[in-house]
Amino acid sequence: MKDKKIIKMESQFTSQNFIHTKNLKNIFIVVLILFVFLTGRLAFIQFVDGAYLKEKAYSQQTINQIISPKRGNIYDASGEKILACSVPVDTITINPLKFKEETDEQTLALKEKVAKGLSEIFELDYTEVLEKVNSSSQVETIIRKVEHDKVETLKTWMKENEIEVGINIDEDTKRYYPYNNVLSNVLGFCGTDNNGLVGIESTWDSTLRGTPGKIVSSKGSDQEEIPNAEETFIPAENGSDITLTIDFNIQSIVEEYLAQACTSLNPKPKNGGTAIIMNPKNGKILAMANYPDYNLNTPSTPNESLATIYDTLSTEAQNDALHTMWKNKCVADLYEPGSVFKLITASVALEEGITTPDVANDFYCNGYEQVANYQIKCWTSAHHGLSLRGALENSCNPSLMQLGKRIGVSTLYRYYRAYGLFDQTGSNLYGESNSLFTKESSVGEVELATMSFGQRLSITPLQMITAISAIANDGVLMKPTIVDKITNTDTGVVTNIEPTAVRQVLSKETADTMKDLMQSVVEDGSGYRAAISGYTVGGKTGTSEPPTGKEAEEGYVASFCGISPVEDTQVVALVCLYGVAKGQQGGVVAAPVVSQMLTKILPALNVPADVTETTNSTQLTTLPDVRNKTFAEAEKVLQANGFTVKSVTEQDKNTVTVSDQVPKPGVSLAKDSVIVLYDNTNTTRTSVTVPDLSYKSASQAINTLHALNLNVSIDGARRCCFTRSTTQFKSRRR
């Protein structure tokens, strides 16, 4: 035992046959962590990302081919004029991954050829097209809404270059407006995706657009469709057609005369004009026009008015200018209505029994009204003592201020609310604004005075004509409508938009009295230029001043609102001209425009005349043009037409020619009317002061005018018209 040696090992013993307990513990912990991580990841994928991954897998394994619905057409009231329609076009797309050849060099050459061909055919930027051709995307869109002639060119090019795959020609539709500018600010237009952007196209987009369909099929890992795989077909639901209340013929008439007014005035209105024609019985809008307008087929191209400054504007300013050009000012812009609003004040006074139409000296005008510390002037000189009828005929501001003071703020605001002046009209027109009135509790003496004659309050033209239409409709306020019916193009079911009566604002008796007063304004007052042959017309002129200091920038607003016929009103017309010069009153520049419109609109609507046309002879004859004829020849022509001729010349009638004739050619005259002929040496014309013919009988008026060598024709029991100068003898209702 003593010989045994104990060997002490200086290094730790290790073995490959077993794992040390400490290392085993570490391995277990790592495995546990990995297990927990993997379990958590699986749970996240299953419960958090499950829906997303399922959708992604579905998209990778299926082909969804969208079937675009056909957008509904928009028709005028007749159902015959298509104002907006969708025409077939094509969209060109490519599959970049299919442009592949045997070598990289050949693939590059092919892609460059494709990019060059597409950019040249469709007049696109080559670099941008090449970028799409080199894309790794499944599909790239080259151009949308391509006309068929371009598509045919592409097909020919593909055939010549033996390109059979990679370029797709997909059927599509493009919105088209057959009449370009007609009703442009009301209709609006669509974007490249066929969704409405502004106007009726926007507000009725869900009705017009329809619902897309689709074809669902399966594809393999090579992204190619699996033959004979199960296919799901979901048909598209086409958009419905919309028929408007707009009468195309009336719209054309209104746009013609509005444009003529805005371009012929000197100076021209700075901010164009608007016009609305409405049927007061049902609230249907028969025409709604803006000037200037724009071409619906090229809405991003500035109109003639904007084009003069467009290139000088910044990009942001250009965008704002285009939006202004697209705007429907009839509903989107506010204006101060001026004296047209006096009809509202007068109707409140009559309904409340505060006055009656013909109380002598009911009001007094010395040229201004003292209100608080202000002198608020009348538009012209003093009118002195006036009845309500006289106040409206003369558009006297002080008289209406006195009337407004009698009515009081609370009563006026109650009727403003009843007329719907505090609310949007509910017309469903795009971009409709609401009025601006002083808060009732803040209305003082000055605000009450100015509101009474239509200043320092702002409303839309549609709100104004809707309120006047309530007067014309026996006191019943109707909701204005622009859409008459909706037709489901798949089923043929028609949904009519029925007229909606909002409320009774005035009694029928008050409404009748107001219409009588409006007729007096046209027959005896400032609105006489709105009169037309064969029909009774009532109305009110309006000229509103801009805020102090903005005269040069904004100018005045001249307007006229007319009704016809007076007894059984079928049409209400409102014309507004924005930014006219001082002195261009509504009765001078807007009333004649309404007259021109109504002269054509009423017969177009088959409205029977309510004035019997008679003359002091059996027939009126149009005066021929005899200028530049010899006096002898001219006398012969005129005498053959039944006229009496007075020649003012000292030269030989067989050789000297007529340089001027009075009356001018084209007017309608009774037989035996006197026509005066002048040679080029006679430049002075005789002027005659026309006497006051009020309350004279027709025979008395004729004798008086004949004594002054004036031609006369009788228009029923209403008017006696004469030429050389122009005025009217009237026998009116009282």
Question: For the residues 406-416, what does the mean pLDDT come to?
Answer: 98
Residue of 724, 683, 717, 679 whose CA lies nearest to 701: 717
In 3-state terms, what secondary structure has residue 242? strand
Residue of 202, 238, 255 whose CA lies nearest to 428: 202
Condensed to tens digits (0 to 9), the pLDDT of residues 320-365 reads: 999 999 999 999 999 999 999 999 999 999 999 999 999 999 999 9
Paired with 37 in beta bridges are: none
pLDDT score of 149: 84
C-alpha 526/C-alpha 518 separation (Å) is 11
Q: Lowest-confidence range among 100-114, 195-209, 244-258?
A: 100-114
Question: For the residues 562-585, what does the mean pLDDT come to?
Answer: 96
Question: For the residues 571-598, what does the mean pLDDT come to?
Answer: 96
Pair 114, 97: CB distance under 8 Å = no
704 has pLDDT over 60: no
Q: Report the percent of the chain where pLDDT is more than 90.
A: 58
Cα–Cα distances in angstroms (integers) from residue 397 to residues 34, 367, 458, 542, in the given order: 91, 9, 18, 11
496 has pLDDT over 70: yes
| Torsion from C-alpha of 172, 173, 174, 175, nearest 10 degrees | -160
Q: Lowest-confidence range among 105-119, 219-233, 428-442?
A: 219-233
700 has pLDDT over 80: no
Instruction: Return the number of other C-beta atoms located less than 10 Å from residue 420's C-beta.
Output: 22
DSSP element (H, E) containing 137: none
Question: Which residue is associated with the tokens 């409508």?
Answer: 481
pLDDT score of 682: 72
pLDDT score of 4: 55
Q: What angle do CA 150, 153, 154 make, to 5 degrees?
A: 90
Taking only Cα atoms into account, the Rg of the chain, rounded to an integer number of angstroms, comes to 39
68 has pLDDT over 90: no
Question: SS3 sequence, 536-573?
Answer: CCEEEEEEECCCCCCHHHHCEEEEEEEEECCCCCCEEE
Question: Which residue is associated with the tokens 């009103």?
Answer: 569
Strand (E) positions, 494-552?
A: 494-496, 501-504, 538-544
pLDDT score of 360: 95
Question: For the residues 539-553, what does the mean pLDDT come to?
Answer: 84
More reliable by pLDDT, 152 or 473: 473
In 3-state terms, what secondary structure has residue 125? coil
Domains and CATH numbers, the chain: 65-242 (3.90.1310.10), 620-730 (3.30.10.20)
pLDDT score of 701: 59
pLDDT score of 171: 78
pLDDT score of 726: 33
* pLDDT-based confidence at residue 722 (cuts at 50, 70, 90): very low
Paired with 487 in beta bridges are: 241, 494
Q: Lowest-confidence range among 44-53, 507-516, 534-543, 547-556?
A: 44-53
C-alpha 82/C-alpha 174 separation (Å) is 15
Pair 465, 574: CB distance under 8 Å = yes
Provide the token pair at 94: 């490519």
pLDDT score of 157: 92
In 3-state terms, what secondary structure has residue 197? coil
C-alpha 142/C-alpha 168 separation (Å) is 10
C-alpha 469/C-alpha 570 separation (Å) is 10
* pLDDT-based confidence at residue 706 (cuts at 50, 70, 90): low
Q: Lowest-confidence range among 309-318, 560-569, 598-607, 626-635?
A: 626-635
pLDDT score of 488: 95
DSSP element (H, E) containing 202: helix 199-203
Q: What is the mean pLDDT of the chain?
A: 86
Question: SS3 sequence, 42-80?
Answer: HHHHHHHCHHHHHHHHHHHHEEEEEECCCCCCEECCCCC
Question: SS3 sequence, 331-396?
Answer: HHCCECCHHHHHHHHHHHHHHCCCCCCCCCCCEEECCEEEECCEEEECCCCCCEEECHHHHHHCCC
Give start and end residues of each alpha helix (H) in 210-277. 248-264
Question: For the residues 481-502, what does the mean pLDDT come to?
Answer: 96
C-alpha 374/C-alpha 190 separation (Å) is 52
Cα–Cα distances in angstroms (integers) from residue 667 to residues 70, 637, 670, 726, in the given order: 53, 16, 10, 11
Q: What angle do CA 234, 238, 241 make, to 5 degrees?
A: 165
CB neighbours of 282 closer than 8 A, spacing ≥ 6?
A: 478, 481, 499
More reliable by pLDDT, 542 or 96: 542
571 has pLDDT over 90: yes
Paired with 176 in beta bridges are: 85
520 has pLDDT over 60: yes
More reliable by pLDDT, 15 or 689: 689
pTM of the model: 0.74
C-alpha 341/C-alpha 356 separation (Å) is 18
Provide the token pair at 313: 């504007």
CB neighbours of 448 closer than 8 A, spacing ≥ 6?
A: 404, 405, 409, 412
pLDDT score of 11: 56
Residue of 619, 577, 569 whose CA lies nearest to 598: 569
pLDDT score of 684: 61
User: With the C-alpha atoms ordered 581, 584, 586, 589, is the resulting torsion angle positive or negative?
Assistant: negative
116 has pLDDT over 80: yes
More reliable by pLDDT, 633 or 34: 633
Question: Which residue is associated with the tokens 């030989």?
Answer: 652
Condensed to tens digits (0 to 9), the pLDDT of residues 129-175 reads: 999 988 888 888 888 878 778 888 998 999 898 888 888 888 778 89
